[in-house]
Amino acid sequence: MRKQQEARNLKKTKSLRGASKKKEQMLFGLNVDLRPFFLFGLFLILFFSPFMRGLFFPPEFLTACILVGSTFIICVFDQVLRREIFVPRLALDWAVLAFVFAWALSLIGAVHVVSALRELMEAAACAFLYVCAARAARNEKSFDLLLLICYLAGIGVALIGILAAAGIFPFPGAYDGGRIMSTFQYPNALAVYLVLLNCVGLALSVKSENLLAKSFYACGNFLMILVILGTQSRGGWVVYPLAVGGLIAMLPSAYRWRAAYHLVIPLGCALFAGRGFFGLLRAGENLAAVKYAVYGGIAALVLQAAYHLLAQWLNRDEVSDATRRLAAAGGVGYLVLVIAFYVYASAGALPITAATVAPVEVVRRAEQISAAEENFRNRLEFSRDALRIVRDYPLVGVGGGGWNALYHKYQSSLYWTTETHNHFFQTWVEAGTIGLLALLSLWAGFTALTVRYLRRREGGGLRISVAGAFTGMLALGLHSAFDFDLSLPALSFLLFTLFGAVRGAAAGAFEAPSEEKAAAAAGGPAGGDGTAPTGSGSGLKGLLRRLQRLSPQGTAGPPWLIGAAVVGLAAGLALIIPARNFYAAGTVGAVGARALLNKDLETAERCYAEAHRLDPFTASYAADLAQIYAAQSLAGDDAIKHYRAIDLARKAARAEPYNARVRAVLVNVYLQLGEPLLAAREAEGLLEANPMLASSYELVVAARLEAARYYLRYGKGDLARPLLRPVDDLVEEMENKGIEVTPRFRLYQGALAAVAGRLTEALAHLEEAAQERDTEFEAKAWLAAALDAAGDSHKSGELASNLREKSPQFHELYEALRKESSSWPSSR
């Protein structure tokens, strides 16, 4: 009895000491646990972001940024209350900071500020998720929970893809052209996303000893592989065996055969079910196709259960070695059959996709093998044009969205793409050499940390989970070298979260002993997740200790902790506030657009003014508001609205100088306002933004023509003269670029020559334009006016009579031109 009483007293004393220690650990004695709240926010982001179109579009992306910023603030406050401050220690930590810094520097040379700001916001959000994940993944259990949340999201994305393909769940853009795109609406990004999570599922399955868990992962992996096949992504098909093969090689030898079987069971079921599933989809028998998917899932579940039970039976002592060898031979035969079938199914994709990721010599050889592959040649051209941009903007780049803004200026042939299809080259273009080096440092630091951790012999279960995440992330990084997966923020968020999770788990394992010693020496708690408890360690930790000594509060260190809280709060708000403003601007701008379509100018003006106030960097708000002011200026002869429209038009041009759509709107605004010279200058800006389109050259000549006519009508020949120069330089430029000199360009060229008094040149171009159906009558109106100006009244009268009968509209144009011709310089 006495011993029991002493044991109870000792237990009570330890409990009181632990409670006292926990109370001392909390700042200002506040015993508040914020960890569940920031974990909830982190898991919410990871789970739902893939379902929101990959966060590619502004509304979803900005909503996610607000949530990320809020989660980060809670995470910082949780660290402050526990006196565990995250400080950069590892190369990977500094690389993440350098990555954000590089995108901040890209604002210096940003050609479109709003796109650059949004890219910076994405980089900051990625860094915030990195910190949150490093704190969340403190041990194997929390690391596996984070992976499981990601894996569940992958199952949901795969299910939506299958159901959309079968017409059961009509998610927009989830199935098109015979390819499954699911919620990402892009098949290649979907494929590599599921490859990553398939590696995660395989790792979690291998380490589990529970039949129910193994069956769950077998079904989940089956669904993912089925969708990977349905994406028809050759890059995904090639990186998949590299990823899972790398994972199996990294596992401890005792787990490799188990992993191989856990791989081929869902893979074999998906391959065989897929033949029937996709064949029936093509035949339009959707419900029958779904049955194949269901049967395949059941087969995966049954085979996984059979393998589990067979393995347990074979481990019994009474089972003979011959029986074990027979079972092993059957398993190996199944494995060989599945691998052979996969190689056969994906063999057609291998040469071209391998050429895309291989060194230059292999690329050249592969190009000779398949020189007709248009997709491959296009991506090489994108990369060449990206290097041309880098040559002109080498250091800090052109800011986020810079590729989409500038590639028209650098392209050697006409193509349309908003992405470089190479994440490393796109980063190089937009964040410069500094950004590329930061990105490479990220991958180098992550790989070095993970390899160092995987070489440890301790922590078998966590090592398997880390290996699964590591190989999946390498597959994503490899695939991003020839596609734009990481331009989808959802994938960037997932990648940086896993960076942080691996960092938290690996660094925690490395630093735990030293942290415990430092904590014992300082009499305080140690940060097992890689955070720094105040008053321990050397280097930065020593600096923290010295700061504490300056604090009158002793080990609590309120000045330092309050400073950390303020910095964290400011950083989070720096993401939340712009995201909120941009989101609100987009919402009210959409209302303004609907009002403008309904010709409700008052509502449209109010909405666009508010949108421009909230987001002064987006050119379309200023341009649309300028259109409204221009219309109101004409209707009411309002000089104030006239100059407001000009001011807004100039702001729009400065905000996005290479936005061709905005530039075209501004040309019309200036023409409405009776500012033809400004319209001509704006048209020149449009040509600079997109010099590969014939319509850009047409607009330049048309704008010059209208400006010259305007000044000649008012007797301002000195202002008209520079506009009337020949356009032979534009013709030469078009021919050099391989752009067709269109009949409409010839029409404007001839009209400009007629106004300038170069009548012989004018007649030649106008007669050519009059031969084409689209420009026939307008060309004849100008031709009749030019003939009249040249003194050939007979031919002019015939053309005018023909116009009067066939096209009264252009006959009116002829009459107007004939009256104007008296002010034209004459060559007669």
Q: Could you identify the residue written with the tokens 């041009």?
A: 653
- The answer to whether the beta carbons of residues 447 and 498 sit under 8 Å apart is no
pLDDT score, position 339: 60
Asked if 199 contacts 471 with a C-beta cutoff of 8 angstroms, the reply is yes
Q: What is the pLDDT of residue 637?
A: 80
Beta bridge partners of 84: 533
Residue type, 794: H
Residue 413 region by backbone torsions, left for phi larger than 0, else alpha for psi between -120 and 50, else beta: beta
Cα dist from 64 to 58, 114, 173, 292, 586, whole Å? 10, 18, 21, 37, 15
- Asked if 189 contacts 457 with a C-beta cutoff of 8 angstroms, the reply is no
Q: How far apart are CA 419 and CA 155, in angstroms?
A: 28
pLDDT tens per residue, range 592-648? 999 988 889 899 999 999 999 999 999 999 999 999 999 999 888 888 999 999 999
Tokens of 538: 């050397």
| Residue whose C-alpha is closest to residue 497's, from 517, 472, 480, 519 | 472
> Alpha-carbon distance 746 to 749, whole Å?
5
Q: Length of the chain in residues, anyone?
A: 828
Amino acid identity of residue 400, one-letter, is G
Distance CA 301, CA 313 (A): 18
Query: What is the structure's pLDDT at 86?
Result: 85
Q: Which residue has the tokens 């109106």?
A: 781
| Confidence (pLDDT) at 228 | 93
* C-alpha–C-alpha distance, residues 7 and 235, integer Å: 64
Task: Name the stretches of the chain with pLDDT < 70.
Answer: 1-32, 310-374, 457-459, 508-558, 826-828
- Give the residue among 304, 276, 308 at the shortest CA–CA distance from 290: 276
What's the whole-model pTM score?
0.85
**Residue 815 and residue 651: Cα distance in Å, rounded?**
39
Distance from first CA to last CA of the chain, Å, rounded?
129
Whole-angstrom distance, CA of residue 428 vs CA of residue 396: 9
User: Which are the contacts of 788, defined by CB distance < 8 A and separation ≥ 6?
Assistant: 796, 818, 821
In this structure, are residues 157 and 608 in contact, taking their beta carbons and an 8 Å threshold?
A: no
The per-residue pLDDT for 638 is 84
C-alpha 506/C-alpha 137 separation (Å) is: 10
Distances (CA, A) of 542 to 512, 532, 547, 560: 17, 10, 9, 13
* Per-residue pLDDT reduced to its tens digit, 288-329: 889 989 999 999 999 888 877 766 655 655 555 555 455 555
Instruction: Return d(Cα 666, Cα 629) in angstroms, integer.
Output: 12
Q: How many CA atoms lie within 13 A of 260 on its CB side?
A: 16
Q: Quick one: which of 733, 741, 748 has its CA closest to 703? A: 748
- What is the Cβ-side half-sphere exposure of residue 566, based on CA atoms within 13 angstroms? 6
Count of Cβ atoms closer than 10 Å to residue 255 Cβ? 19
Residue with tokens 């010693």: 517
